[in-house]
Amino acid sequence: MRRSLLILLAVLISSATIVGLSSVVAKRLWAHHFARPGDDLVWLRREFRLNDAELQRVRQLHEGYLPKCRSFCERIDARKRELQATLTSGADAPGAIEQKLIEIGAIRAQCQAAMLQHFREVSQVMPKEQGRRYLSEMQRLTLGFHEQMEKTMSADPSAPHGTL
């Protein structure tokens, strides 16, 4: 009786493990298949129900925007490396550090402005209601990220930022 119960328990545990593992593997495989890693615009087409002509226009805008975005990222990375070099050189140059920080901030602002402009252009290609939803969603996901970070910092009383 006890042996049979143990065997039955082992069978149940093995079954649950097989089901669990195979579902995780299948979920990943199917998700990779549906997400199509080579195409950045799969989500846009599905989420905002774009037809072929709209998708084609969005693709043109997307491909035109990517080099600009990459250029901003490279410029920010270059300034950050320079800032790091200034910081690690040990030279007492607060003016130089401040200058680098200002430059990084300026490029970030230009990058965000270009990004917002791109979102506006893409939203205008979409049907009106979908375009409005896209713009709102993208602003929430990109600019909202920074706002959330700032709010978190100002909510912390030990944080150096005030709520001015």
Partner 1 sequence: MAMRNDMQPLDDGRLRTRLRESRPAPDLPPGFQNAVWCRIEQAEAATANVSLEEWLDRAVAWLLRPRLALAGVAAMLLVGFSIGALQSGSLANDMAKQQYLAAVSPRTAH
Task: Answer yes or no whether residue 135 interacts with partner 1 by CB under 8 A.
Answer: no
Other CB atoms within 10 Å distance of the CB of residue 108: 15
Task: Answer yes or no whether residue 19 interacts with partner 1 by CB under 8 A.
Answer: yes
Least Cβ distance, residue 92 to partner 1 (angstroms): 30
Helix-strand-coil percent breakdown of the chain, rounded to 5? 85, 0, 15
User: How many amino acids of this chain bind partner 1 (CB under 8 A)?
Assistant: 49
Task: Answer yes or no whether residue 18 interacts with partner 1 by CB under 8 A.
Answer: yes
Among 11, 87, 101, 153, binds partner 1 (CB under 8 A): 11
- Which helix (H) or strand (E) segment holds residue 41: the answer is none
Task: Answer yes or no whether residue 44 interacts with partner 1 by CB under 8 A.
Answer: yes
Residue owning tokens 């910081």: 87
3-state class (DSSP) for residue 37? coil
Q: Rounded to whole angstroms, how far apart are CA atoms 143 and 159?
A: 21
Task: Answer yes or no whether residue 47 interacts with partner 1 by CB under 8 A.
Answer: yes
Instruction: Choose between 15 and 89: whose C-beta lies nearer to partner 1.
Output: 15
Task: Answer yes or no whether residue 41 interacts with partner 1 by CB under 8 A.
Answer: yes
Task: Answer yes or no whether residue 81 interacts with partner 1 by CB under 8 A.
Answer: no
Roughly how many angstroms between the first and final C-alpha of the chain, as a whole number? 74
Least Cβ distance, residue 53 to partner 1 (angstroms): 19
